[in-house]
Amino acid sequence: MTKGIILLAAGGTGGHLFPAEALAHELKANGYSVHLVTDSRAERFAGKFPADEVHVVPSATIGSKNPIHVVRSLWTLWTGMRAARRLISRLRPKAVVGFGGYPTVPPLLAATGMGVPSMIHEQNAVMGRANKALASRVKAIAGGFLPEGTGAFAAKTVTTGNPVRPAVLEAAKVPYDAAAGETPFHLVVFGGSQGAQYFSKAVPQAICRLDDALRQRLKVTQQARPEDRDGVIATYEKLGVPADVSPFFTDMAERIADAQLVICRSGASTVSELAVIGRPAILVPYPYALDHDQAANAAAIAAKGGAKVIVQAELTAERLAGILADAMANPQSLAQMAAHARETGKPDAARLLASMVEAIASGSTVETFKEKRS
């Protein structure tokens, strides 16, 4: 016998699904049944998501200026909202929680229209478009990096941090291993669904410029798009650098834990997981993010000394090679960065967010939740 159903809604990328997955684990442990509404992109993540059932409802983004495309998108959203209303009527969830991305719009609009307790979680320091559209309608807003005391929705915003998956919490138990002398140096490189292409060129070019002695120490894990993978592998084989190159890694948390240094974008989930695990990083914000949210996400961990932030346009192969050479020669400096990164981590974010969901589901207000929390 469960306490009831909590319906989670998330876009089909890791950035939206990973924190939803972490919350799902916590809610299941607390006795709730969890259902997920998402889109077809989520299939590669579905194996580890602890949902009792996964539902796909029609949705679309209105990004085009073409009137025909706009009309089609509006019709798809209307169709999706009707499907979501039918789903909510059947499931009768205690609460509906959105994690951003356009697939969250129909179920959250349906839920708020039907009077079902609803809230959103915004992973980034700058609110995304889907969450902006929903913010005025929901009862509460949880934030990964959103400031709690400012903004138009300050009264109903709680900074919970970004929930991290059990695999990340497990990886956080692994202490940082400073690679001194001639010991192997594990470099992990990834860029998310949009940002990996740049690293497929920049990182191999930088490693080409390292001294042979440094290259012989390197072991690389690198995410690359399917169309870039063979070229990246060929370059590393030519250099004699052992490398595991793939479009997606199911065990990325473990690989980060094994790393001496990480080079990556600064999406909200990425920064949060790096902080909880405690690994030094070179963060290169994705320059084409609509709201420049990645630069804002990186600011907190960089301010504490847990990462270095470099604008993509300024990161030449020569500069990156110099950064790598300096890092490999100064293991204690990396160890200090790892410690500073861990200081910014919020490993209890999933527990706090689950408590907030339960409070909203029971009819409590955000103000009351804040008072009990303090």
- Please give the pLDDT value at position 111: 97
d(CA 8, CA 285): 28
Bridge-based pairing of strands 118-122 and 307-309 is unpaired
What b/e string do you get for 75-87 counting C-beta neighbours within 10 Å, with b at 16 or more? ebbeebbebbbeb
Three-class secondary structure of residue 334 per DSSP: helix
- Please give the pLDDT value at position 114: 97
- Tell me the pLDDT of the chain averaged across its residues: 92
**Full DSSP string of 195-264:** HHHHHHHHHHHHHHTS-HHHHTTEEEEEE--HHHHHHHHHHHHHHT--EEEES--TTHHHHHHT-SEEEE
If one counts every other C-beta atom within 10 angstroms of the C-beta of residue 373, the result is 12
Confidence of residue 290 (pLDDT cuts 50, 70, 90): low
Mean pLDDT check: name the lowest of 54-68, 157-171, 173-187, 242-256.
54-68
d(CA 210, CA 202): 13
Q: Is the pLDDT of residue 6 over 90?
A: yes
d(CA 298, CA 282): 10
Q: Could you report the per-residue pLDDT of 168-190, keeping only the tens digit for each?
A: 999 999 999 999 889 999 999 99
Between 369 and 60, the more confident residue is 369
| pLDDT (mean) for 113-136 | 94
Bridge-based pairing of strands 185-190 and 218-223 is parallel
d(CA 183, CA 217): 6
Q: How far is Cα of residue 37 from the mean position of the Cα atoms in its chain?
A: 18
Bridge-based pairing of strands 95-98 and 5-9 is parallel
C-alpha separations of 85 from 3, 35, 92, 115, 260 in Å: 22, 15, 10, 11, 49
**Full DSSP string of 86-128:** HHHHHH--SEEEE-SSGGGHHHHHHHHHTT--EEEEE-SSS--
Element (H, E) at 187: strand 185-190
d(CA 353, CA 190): 27
Three-class secondary structure of residue 1 per DSSP: coil
Q: Is 98 left (phi over 0), alpha (psi -120 to 50) or beta?
A: beta
pTM: 0.87
Dihedral over alpha carbons 309, 251, 28, 33 (to 10 degrees): 100
Q: Could you report the per-residue pLDDT of 212-248, keeping only the tens digit for each?
A: 999 999 999 999 999 999 999 999 999 999 999 999 8
Amino acid at 280: P
Nearest to 6 by CA among 101, 83, 102, 121: 121
